[in-house]
């Protein structure tokens, strides 16, 4: 597609529920990134894929967070047993060949845990 | 963790005026990028400046980079109401690094 597509756009989860957030990057983009953005803050890095390989997951806040990109295109960010502090906007970005170029961001998924 | 710090945190000016936002960072960088985010939307890439560049222009945007002071500035000339948004600087740290590290952003409001 023309841009990075994320779904769902909004998600309300009850505390303790598992959620899955989807990202469709731009076709042919090798690099894919997940960021978490709290209200009024800058995006915080979560994890990075190059094709299907997860090369950096240092930003994942706990073992409840898991990301995958099995075929090197679509990626899913899964959060298990959601907590209120997980409420944030989750942004996905892709890049043709890493950080030497600009990233293209999706519109994000706003997750609210109640 | 946040790498860059934007200054000011919020800026309100009249349409037609110039807006200047500053960014400071802590470690050596490969490049520095500026992004715009409209309320409730994703980030849009504006401009990238490499560590060996000092100034770059794109339309009404002018970016400077001073690696000795570890700082960058974004100037928007002849501002328009549509420029109202949050602006973030982001750095790529060192050779081979891939992730962007963002600052807290500057909230810019252009008053008609």
Of A48, A50, A106, the CB nearest to B42: A106
What are B37-79's pLDDT values in tens digits?
A: 998 888 999 999 999 999 999 999 999 999 999 999 999 999 9
Nearest CA in chain B to A56: B99
Query: Would you place residue B1 in the very low, low, confident or very high pLDDT band (cuts 50, 70, 90)?
Result: very low
B88 interaction partners in chain A (CB closer than 8 Å) = 42-43
Q: How far is CA B32 from CA A42, A43, A84, B29, B35, in A?
A: 15, 15, 33, 7, 10
- B85 secondary structure, DSSP code: E
Q: Please tell me the predicted confidence (pLDDT) of residue B95.
A: 58
Give the pair of three-digit tokens for residue B34. 């500026």
What are A63-111's pLDDT values in tens digits?
A: 999 999 999 999 999 999 999 999 999 999 999 877 677 899 999 999 9
How far apart CA A34 and CA B49 sit, in angstroms, is 23
Taking the CA of residue A59 and the nearest CA in chain B, the distance in Å comes to: 9
Which 21-50 residues of chain A touch chain B by CB within 8 A? Answer: 31, 33, 35, 41-45, 48, 50
């Amino acid at each position: 597609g023309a841009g990075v597509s994320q779904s769902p756009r909004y998600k309300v989860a009850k505390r303790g529920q598992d959620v899955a957030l989807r990202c469709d990057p731009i076709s042919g983009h090798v690099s894919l990134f997940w960021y978490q953005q709290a209200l009024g803050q800058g995006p915080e890095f979560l994890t990075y894929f190059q094709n299907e390989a997860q090369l950096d997951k240092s930003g994942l806040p706990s073992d409840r967070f898991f990301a995958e990109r099995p075929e090197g295109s679509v990626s899913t960010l899964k959060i298990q047993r959601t907590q209120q502090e997980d409420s944030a906007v989750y942004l996905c970005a892709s890049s043709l060949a890493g950080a030497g170029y600009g990233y293209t961001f999706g519109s994000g998924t706003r997750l609210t845990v109640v | 963790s946040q790498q860059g710090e934007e200054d000011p945190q919020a800026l309100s000016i009249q349409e037609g005026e110039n807006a200047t936002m500053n960014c400071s960072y802590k470690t050596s960088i490969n490049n520095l990028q500026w992004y715009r985010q409209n309320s409730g939307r994703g980030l849009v890439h504006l401009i990238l400046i490499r560590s060996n560049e000092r100034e770059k222009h794109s339309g009404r945007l002018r970016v400077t980079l001073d690696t000795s002071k570890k700082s960058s500035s974004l100037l928007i000339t002849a501002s328009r109401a549509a420029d109202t948004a949050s602006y973030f600087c982001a750095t790529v740290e060192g050779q081979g690094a891939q992730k962007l590290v963002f600052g807290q952003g500057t909230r810019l409001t252009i008053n008609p």
